[in-house]
C-alpha cells in the first residue's frame, strides 16, 4: 500500500467519524432513548433533528470542504504556486465571479425561487472559468493567469460592492452580506443534491488533468515537450477548479482558507506530487469543514458564528504557521 493510499484511508475514516459526531452532537442534547428513537424512527422528533437538520448540514460541510480542497489542489498544481486558492487571495477569481452572480440574484429577489441563487453562482463560476480558459489558451505563463485572476476577482468584488451600494433595501443588503459570510446553516438534502454531482464531475475532470499537473512540476517548457497535451490539461484543470469552487459558493457562500490549507496539510504525505494530492486534499478539505462547522455550532455564542468567519479566524493563523514551516521547500 502506498503512502497516499494509507493517507486517503486514514482521512476517509476520520471523515466518517467526524460526520458521525456532527450528526450526533448539537445545540439540543438528546438522551440515549431519544438517540435510539431517532435511529429506529427517522420521522420522530429526534429523528428529524438528526436526519433532516444535522446530517444534511454535516454532509453539505463535507462536500463544500471537499470541493474547496480539490479546487485549491488543482489550482496550486496548475499555477505551480502554493498560494493559489479559490477564495482568499482571489487567485483565479472564480469564487468572486460566482459570489457576484449569486449576490445579484439575491438582490433581484430571486432567492425565493428554489435553485435560483445556486444556478446564478454556478453561472458566475462558469463565466469566470470560461474567461480564464480563453486567456490560458493564449498565454501560458502562470504569472499572467494569476494576475488576470486577481484583476477578475477585484472587478467582481467591485461589482459586488456596487450591488450593496445601489441595493434598494437594507434587507436585501443584509441578505447578501449574510450569504457572503459563508455558512451551511439550515442546509437540506436539496443542497447536497446541488453540490454532489458538480463535485463528482469536477473530481473526474481533475483526475483526467492529474498527469499533466504532475508533469508541470518540471515547468512549462519541459511539460510542453513531454508528449502530454498540456492545452487539454489546462482546460480540464480550469474547468474542474471553476466547477468545484462554483458549486461550493453556490451552496455555502464564500468560505476561505480551506482551499489554501487543505493541500498544504497533506502535501508532505504525498511527497509533493500534485497529481496524487487531489484526493487527500479533497478529503482533508471535507474533514476541516465538518469539524469547523461543528465547532462553530457548539461554541457558546449568542449569534452562531458564520462558517466562513470561523474558517478565516482559525485558518489564517494556521496557514501562516504552515507557510512558515513549508517555506524551505518552496520553489517560487
Partner 1 sequence: MTVLLELENAHARIGGAEVLNGAFFSVRAGELVALCGPNGAGKSTALRAALGLAPLTQGVARLGGDEARRLSERQRGERAAYLPQDRSIAWNLPAVEVAALGAPFLTGQAAVERARAALDEVGVGHLADRGVAEMSGGERARVLLARALTVPAPLLAADEPIAGLDPDAQLLVLERLRARADAGRAVLVSLHDLSLAARFADRVVVLDQGRTAAEGAPTAALSPRILKTVFNLDAVWLEALDGPWLAARRLSPHG
Which of 160, 281 has the CB closer to partner 1?
A: 281
Q: Is 214 in the site for partner 1 (CB under 8 A)?
A: yes
Which of 2, 303 has the CB closer to partner 1?
A: 2
Q: How far apart are CA 277 and CA 283, in angstroms?
A: 10
- Grid coordinates given for 141: 505563463
Please state the closest distance from residue 155 (CB atom) to partner 1, in A.
28
Identify which range of 63-71, 92-100, 130-138, 214-222 contacts partner 1 by CB under 8 A: 214-222
Which of 182, 280 has the CB closer to partner 1?
A: 280
Q: How far apart are CA 37 and CA 258, in angstroms?
A: 36
- Grid coordinates given for 307: 462558517
Please state the closest distance from residue 270 (CB atom) to partner 1, in A.
9
Please state the closest distance from residue 326 (CB atom) to partner 1, in A.
9
Q: Which DSSP category does 242 fall into?
A: H
Identify which range of 83-91, 163-171, 250-258, 323-331 contacts partner 1 by CB under 8 A: 323-331
Q: Is 163 in the site for partner 1 (CB under 8 A)?
A: no
Binding residue for partner 1, selected from 32, 227, 301, 303, defined by CB under 8 A: 227
Binding residue for partner 1, selected from 92, 105, 126, 230, defined by CB under 8 A: 230
Q: Is 72 in the site for partner 1 (CB under 8 A)?
A: no
Binding residue for partner 1, selected from 136, 216, 244, 282, defined by CB under 8 A: 216
Q: Is 228 in the site for partner 1 (CB under 8 A)?
A: yes
Q: Is 329 in the site for partner 1 (CB under 8 A)?
A: yes
Identify which range of 14-22, 57-65, 83-91, 224-232 contacts partner 1 by CB under 8 A: 224-232
Q: How far apart are CA 139 and CA 259, in angstroms?
A: 25
Q: Is 207 in the site for partner 1 (CB under 8 A)?
A: no
Binding residue for partner 1, selected from 10, 272, 320, 321, defined by CB under 8 A: 272
Q: Which DSSP category does 82 fall into?
A: T
Binding residue for partner 1, selected from 33, 40, 138, 331, defined by CB under 8 A: 331
- Identify residues 112-151 at the interface with partner 1 (CB under 8 A): none
Q: How far apart are CA 302 and CA 165, in angstroms?
A: 29
Contact by Cβ (8 Å): 202, 259: no
* Continuous segment of H or E residues that includes residue 104: helix 94-107
Which of 20, 231 has the CB closer to partner 1?
A: 231
* Continuous segment of H or E residues that includes residue 287: helix 278-298
- Least Cα distance to 266 among 18, 11, 93 occurs for 11
CA-based radius of gyration for the chain: 20
68: Cβ contacts below 8 Å, ≥ 6 apart: 86, 87, 244, 245, 248, 255, 258, 259, 262, 285, 289
Q: How far apart are CA 15 and CA 99, in angstroms?
A: 28
Binding residue for partner 1, selected from 273, 313, 314, 318, defined by CB under 8 A: 273
Q: Is the dihedral of CA 245, 250, 252, 255 positive or negative?
A: positive
Identify which range of 61-69, 96-104, 193-201, 222-230 contacts partner 1 by CB under 8 A: 222-230
Measured CA angle at 285 (ends 89, 152), to 5 deg:
25
The footprint of partner 1 (CB under 8 A) covers: 80, 211, 214-219, 221-222, 224-231, 267, 271-274, 328-329, 331
Amino acid at each position: 500500500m502506498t503512502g497516499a493510499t494509507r493517507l486517503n484511508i486514514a482521512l476517509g475514516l476520520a471523515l466518517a467519524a467526524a460526520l458521525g459526531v456532527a450528526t450526533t452532537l448539537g445545540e439540543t442534547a438528546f438522551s440515549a432513548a431519544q438517540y435510539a428513537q431517532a435511529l429506529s424512527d427517522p420521522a420522530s422528533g429526534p429523528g428529524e433533528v438528526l436526519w433532516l437538520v444535522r446530517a444534511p448540514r454535516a454532509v453539505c460541510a463535507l462536500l463544500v470542504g471537499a470541493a474547496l480542497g480539490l479546487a485549491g489542489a488543482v489550482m496550486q498544481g496548475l499555477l505551480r504556486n502554493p498560494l493559489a486558492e479559490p477564495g482568499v487571495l482571489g487567485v483565479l477569481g472564480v469564487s468572486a465571479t460566482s459570489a457576484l452572480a449569486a449576490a445579484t440574484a439575491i438582490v433581484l429577489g430571486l432567492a425565493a425561487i428554489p435553485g435560483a441563487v445556486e444556478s446564478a453562482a454556478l453561472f458566475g463560476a462558469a463565466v469566470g472559468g470560461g474567461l480564464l480558459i480563453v486567456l490560458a489558451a493564449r498565454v501560458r505563463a502562470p504569472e499572467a493567469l494569476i494576475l488576470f485572476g486577481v484583476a477578475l476577482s477585484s472587478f467582481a468584488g467591485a461589482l459586488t460592492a456596487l450591488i450593496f451600494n445601489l441595493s434598494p433595501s437594507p434587507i436585501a443588503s443584509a441578505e447578501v452580506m449574510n450569504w457572503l459570510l459563508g455558512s451551511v446553516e439550515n442546509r437540506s438534502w436539496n443542497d447536497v443534491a446541488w453540490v454532489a454531482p458538480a463535485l463528482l464531475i469536477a473530481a473526474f475532470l481533475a483526475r483526467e488533468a492529474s498527469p499533466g499537473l504532475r508533469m508541470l512540476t518540471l515547468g512549462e517548457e519541459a511539460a510542453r515537450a513531454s508528449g502530454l497535451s498540456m492545452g487539454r490539461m489546462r482546460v480540464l484543470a480550469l474547468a474542474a477548479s471553476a466547477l468545484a469552487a462554483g458549486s461550493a459558493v453556490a451552496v455555502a457562500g464564500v468560505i476561505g482558507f480551506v482551499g489554501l490549507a487543505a493541500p498544504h496539510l497533506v502535501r508532505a504525505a504525498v511527497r509533493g506530487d500534485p497529481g496524487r494530492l487531489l484526493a487527500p486534499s479533497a478529503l482533508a478539505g471535507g474533514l476541516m469543514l465538518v469539524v469547523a462547522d461543528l465547532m462553530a455550532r457548539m461554541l457558546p455564542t449568542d449569534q452562531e458564528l458564520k462558517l466562513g468567519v470561523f474558517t478565516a479566524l482559525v485558518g489564517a493563523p494556521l496557514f501562516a504557521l504552515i507557510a512558515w514551516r513549508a517555506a524551505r521547500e518552496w520553489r517560487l
